Structure 1
């Protein structure tokens, strides 16, 4: 048998320092997972984690040391940046205990969850799904994946790594991974109760406070200490 149309290209992210590619299966995202960001969105306390998804072809792969042009999306006048630590799953499973979560992690990357905030807000008011605000084309820029062993060997514990974003050279977001409401292991535990995690899955773990609007022409530079950087320009 043959396909009746040409199959889409496999989404993949380069592995830092190698010529290898990490094939992407699903892209999960954790909502409101930093304390101060939850507050700026009008929420307090440690609510149970919740998740949404982006299509794998929404990824914009940004090579190490380069700047990727990302189109400003249609239908919005309020596009927001959300810098995130991304976890790459190398070994799948269901009902993964937090204590075992590290065994399932292949590596880490720096990602951006671009959000059409006005469309997301309208959907929330109407009780509708968020896809129009979150899952659009080019909504998930991502840098190379760094192997977990390399991150661990870097000296700085990932659980305390700084995470930041600059827009046109000015710092907009600045925090550290210790301020996650649900840490990486706990997130994997919760997520794997509801979905069977598969090799190739990515988890965007949430964004710190400081999210704000960006416009065409803006240069965005994100970093997670020990993992890498990410640079895009909106066009």
Structure 2
């Protein structure tokens, strides 16, 4: 386990993987905290960034282990990925779908050379989940800023959502709705101006995908470290 006792620059992947581990650990700390519900964006950012770093580490390890050349004068000292037939610096590439597509292409090209002691088949659901995450956050900005994409998309990540109070009350009274926790804004005559759901279920599909993909690529990365780099 040399990666735990040596500096990142000495690691087989130049520290990409250990950085991914640290972002994953930070996300898990926030998930386990008491106010995790209000930390959706920080948690989402940490998970997404961990996934990005894991993918970059996997790509780097494959290039180095199997002597896969980069194009356009890129190298292990300045790695890149191929996107739409154009080489782009890895450090400037943040789109998860682009990273995964490139990883998958070189992974499949050397698949028969991987050690037979491990089952290396990728989950068919992994690509679908990465596309979902990337669709919401293609540039790694969605969870970092309140206004990152369109107004409609940005509103989806808020843990305070507009609500129809009358409909919510009717649903609760019928016994079919969930308990209501909301804020109600009144005018000077005590007329309801706005009402907001304080416990909305937001981005459930993306949040689930982030958690599942992060753990999946972490496990895959551990297999790479153990089988391909001997934990260096």
TM-score category, normalised to shorter length: under 0.3
- The structure where strand makes up a greater share of residues is 1
- The structure where helix makes up a greater share of residues is 2
TM-score (norm 1): 0.26
Larger RCO of the pair (alpha carbons < 8 Å, separation 6+): 1
TM-score (norm 2): 0.26
The structure number with the bigger radius of gyration is 2
